[in-house]
Amino acid sequence: MPILDNIMYPKDIRNKSISELQILAGEIREKILEVTSENGGHLASNLGAVDLTIALHYAFKTPRDKIVWDVSHQCYTHKILTGRKDFIKTLRMDDGCCGFTSRSESVYDVFGAGHAGTAVSSALGLAAARDKFHKKHKIVAVLGDGSLTNGISLEGLNNVATTTKDMVIILNDNKMSIAENVGGLTRHLNNLIQKRGYNRFRNYIKNRIARIPKAGERLVKWVDRIEEGIKSMLVPGAFFEELGIRYIGPIDGHNIANMIQTFSLIKEFDTPVVVHVITEKGRGFKPAELSPERFHGLGKFDPCTGEVVKKESSSLTFSDAFAESVTNLGTKHQDVVAITAAMCSGTGLNKFAEKFPDRFFDVGIAEGHAVVFAAGMAANGLRPVFAVYATFLQRALSSVYHDICIQNLPVIICADRSGIVDDGPTHHGIYDLSFLRTLPNISIIHPSTREEMDLLLELAYESNSPVVIRYPKASFNGSYEFQPEKYEWGKSLRLREGADVSIWAAGAEYQTALKTAELLGNEKISVEIINPLFIVPFDIDALKQAASAKLIVTIEDNTIVGGLASIVDETLINFKHKGVLHFGWGNKLIPHGTVKGIKKNFGLTPDKIAFEIKKFL
């Protein structure tokens, strides 16, 4: 019988032998492969964190001890071990298991996270609250090496030593280049500094030295410097030591016995500690080991070969179109440079990077820096294109305002994954438009077709001002029945004539509008369809002309508050019109699930929209 069959909660693994835990790790990897190959999900990072997760739940008494996961896309093993081994089969399904930690899902999910860089700060907050209540449980933050490039992580690390004396930070490092550091010398040193006797002797000596009149305090600092100096020559932990955080590592993140021993010993430390763990992304699945970026997050795939199962639609996605368009723009204009924040492949910039390696910049998980970096480039004559997921752009809004908009610098921001996505609330790109629309000097465009991606990117370049181009994760569903002769800045497109209703549909939602119009046409209701194209500047004249004679309906994959609906209401507030209906996302939290299922549940489908329009009329 598989060991996993008898595991429901972490307490069930604490009476297992190391050999049994190693077998369990293999069974968990098989389960993760089974689930993700069928449903999609984050694969490589989860396969790499299996052994580490087992060791953490074995050594720490969860849920009393609290583990915080950075980004938390590597939490599948954590979920399997905390009562959700069956529920995880519903990953990425409607009303199914969340792909990230979620406080509403389990008491073991101490802090929800879908963005990088939050683990240290949130864990430090948990530790500060624990200390304030004079409790003794442990707080553990698990962060990936990529999260260390994030400013929030660094700000949190800078405050650890001055806030608490009892916190554990696990640095999950999956870069193979430093695996050689897991050698005999560092193992010997780490074994020494973890020993209970060593730490007691160290503290005893420091306390005795401190009592020496006048010179005691200076001598203690001198001893600390000697210890740090010796250690910094042997292991790469000087950075943490300078911040007042003890450093252990690097250790093998697939050696369960060694990790359990290390985690058990450091629980007695009287100072915050970083444990540097080396893991291999994609561990146990050869295709993911060889290509961890490709298997970071993906859809359904063959668990034997790793080949991704292609969807029925073979059309280009918006990201594919952007990849071609930005490369064409770079070919045409030598001053164009491209920037990404650790999302080269996801945004499609890998094509640009291959063709123009000296004009491509990956700044790591640092969206705020990316925006200011782009602003600096624009201020000195370059034309930067920053490709970023809409959900991550929200992390840099202050910089967009302060560093780009105020100075009216010609930066093009391409916001991929706008609208809802299957990863849930942390990743829905439905709020950035509402924030961005209020900023000065900025233009916001929604391409709807493949042709428009090329045209609008070129228009954005020619505008010589800040521009945001927003587009969804989806595939193109086709082109217009006609090709507009000319695209004018700030002007909308009439895609269909109609006398009774004027539907204004932003971006890819024009397809929803077309299907809605067909349904209403069957009821003898004549429908006009307008693609606003430009959210800012908005075609106010065209809206007023339509509103004077027709019911205005807006459809958008954004929050109604602050989006296209708000623009229409603001424009028509003192204008006599025939009525207004809005379809978009309200202020209720939108859950994870399939895009199709979410839209159906919230009434953003052609049949529901047509029904509401008929009822209104």
Tell me what the mean pLDDT of segment 151-174 comes to.
Answer: 93
Look up the CATH superfamily of 318-470: Thiamin diphosphate (ThDP)-binding fold, Pyr/PP domains (3.40.50.970)
pTM: 0.86
Task: Answer yes or no: are the C-beta atoms of 282 and 295 closer than 8 Å.
Answer: yes
**Confidence class of residue 236 from pLDDT cuts 50, 70 and 90?**
low
Between 198-212, 400-414, 436-450, 519-533, the lowest mean confidence (pLDDT) is in 198-212
Query: In Å, how far from its chain's centre is CA 374?
Result: 20
- What does the pLDDT look like over 525-550, one tens digit per residue? 999 999 999 999 999 999 999 999 99
Confidence of residue 312 (pLDDT cuts 50, 70, 90): low
Query: Between these two residues, 309 and 219, which has the higher pLDDT value?
Result: 309
Assign 116 to helix, strand or coil.
coil
Is 395 annotated as catalytic? Answer: yes
- Ranges 180-189, 210-219, 290-299: which has the least confidence: 180-189
pLDDT band at 289 (very low <50, low <70, confident <90, very high): confident
Q: Is 345 helix (H, G, I), strand (E, B) or coil?
A: helix
Structure tokens at 430: 């439905």
Q: Which of 99, 253, 284 is nearest to 179 (CA)?
A: 253
What whole-number percentage of the chain has pLDDT above 90?
68
Given a cut of 80, whether residue 7 has pLDDT beyond it is yes
pLDDT at 562 over 90: yes
Give me Rg for the CA atoms of the chain: 27
Query: For residue 550, what are its two tokens?
Result: 């027709």
Of 224-228, 473-477, 508-512, least confident by mean pLDDT is: 224-228
Which of these is catalytic: 31, 241, 283, 367?
Answer: 367
Right CATH for 494-616 from 3.40.50.920, 2.60.120.260, 3.40.50.150, 1.20.1050.10: 3.40.50.920
> For residues 328 and 578, which has the higher predicted lDDT (pLDDT)?
328
Residues of the chain with CATH 3.40.50.970: 3-190+242-287, 318-470
Count of CB atoms situated within 10 Å of the CB of 336: 22
Q: Which CATH number fits domain 3-190+242-287: 1.25.10.10, 3.40.50.970, 2.60.40.420, 3.40.50.300?
A: 3.40.50.970
List, for residues 372-418, the tens digit of each pLDDT value.
Answer: 999 999 999 999 999 999 999 999 999 999 999 999 999 999 999 99
Where do the H-state alpha helices sit in 235-349?
238-242, 256-266, 286-290, 318-332, 344-347
Q: Where are the CATH 3.40.50.920 domain residues in the chain?
A: 494-616
Distance CA 464, CA 442 (A): 11
Q: Are 138 and 166 in contact (CB under 8 A)?
A: yes
Tell me which long-range contacts 547-550 makes (C-beta under 8 A, separation of at least 24): 547/502, 547/572, 547/575, 547/577, 547/578, 547/580, 548/575, 548/576, 548/577, 548/578, 549/499, 549/578, 550/498, 550/499, 550/500, 550/501, 550/502, 550/578
Q: C-alpha angle 52/145/156, rounded to 5°?
A: 100
The active-site residue, picked from 92, 281, 383, 470, is 281
Q: Is 66 noted as a catalytic residue in this protein?
A: no
Q: How far is residue 601's CA from residue 533's CA, in Å, rounded to a whole number? A: 27
SS3 51: helix
Confidence band for 180, pLDDT divided at 50, 70 and 90: very low
Tell me whether residue 218 is one of the annotated catalytic residues.
Answer: no
Model confidence band, residue 181 (pLDDT cutoffs 50, 70, 90): very low
Mean pLDDT of the chain: 88
Which member of 79, 283, 383, 395 is catalytic?
A: 395
pLDDT tens digits, residue range 56-88?
999 999 999 999 999 888 899 999 999 999 999
Contact 510, 535 (CB under 8 A): no
**Within its chain, how far is the Cα of 45 from the centroid?**
14
CA dist., res. 40 & res. 298, Å (int): 5
